[in-house]
Structure 1
Amino acid sequence: MTTPDRPTVPAADLTAGAVLRAGSSAVGMAGGEPFAVSRRCRHQLADLSQGSVDADGCLVCPWHGSRYDVRSGAMVSGPRGFLGYHGPTPGYTGLIRLLGRVVPLRVRRAVRRGDDVVVEG
């Protein structure tokens, strides 16, 4: 059962690549382990709970493809575009990467408890 201080998601719903919303966190599985990070992309505040987990275990933003290390919260690549444009933006992308290093996603503890993944902290 979800409570304000300990949001949960059903572990069975965390299939390969899936990310779910649990309160203010985006929750998924990477490397067989649950993770929870803050839900807002550092680029244009897209909801990361609507993103996906790639083959490298990075959380991928659904809007412009920014990729985040779910263990540290750091942006490791991206974005690819701005507003409705989905192409190269080299200078702008570099600026956003810098912001992603200075202000990483908040990493929270996610643990499996029975049939659920619980977000703590």
Structure 2
Amino acid sequence: MAKHRIYTTSFASVYPLYIAKAERKGRTKAEVDQVISWLTGYSQKELEAQLKKQTDFETFFAKAPRINPLRALIKGVVCGVRVEDIEEPTMREIRYLDKLIDELAKGKAMDKILRKADS
């Protein structure tokens, strides 16, 4: 079976869409970057390097410095699919990020988005 085309799509081509979605709802680029960093472990400098290199989604997640173990707490539906039910690991990571951006755009508190204890 062929890979989904999102795997070969550059992360940099979708990144502005994440920012636009968040900004339409009064959130900021810095908050989008914070969410991405929480999920992947990329520092701001590393994230900018990945964007500049036009890294595809599959590589972006495969090379992530520190995938957050708390991401398993991310639950819910994205594009009509429950993220916790997605079996393919890379697609699940992509959908985790989509879900986090959705939560940010919906005005959820950052502590809740980042799955901090006692939030």
Same-fold status (TM-score > 0.5): no
More strand by share: 1
- Give the number of the structure whose alpha-carbon radius of gyration is greater: 1
Q: Which has the higher contact order (CA 8 A, sep 6+)?
A: 2
- TM-score, normalization: structure 2? 0.27
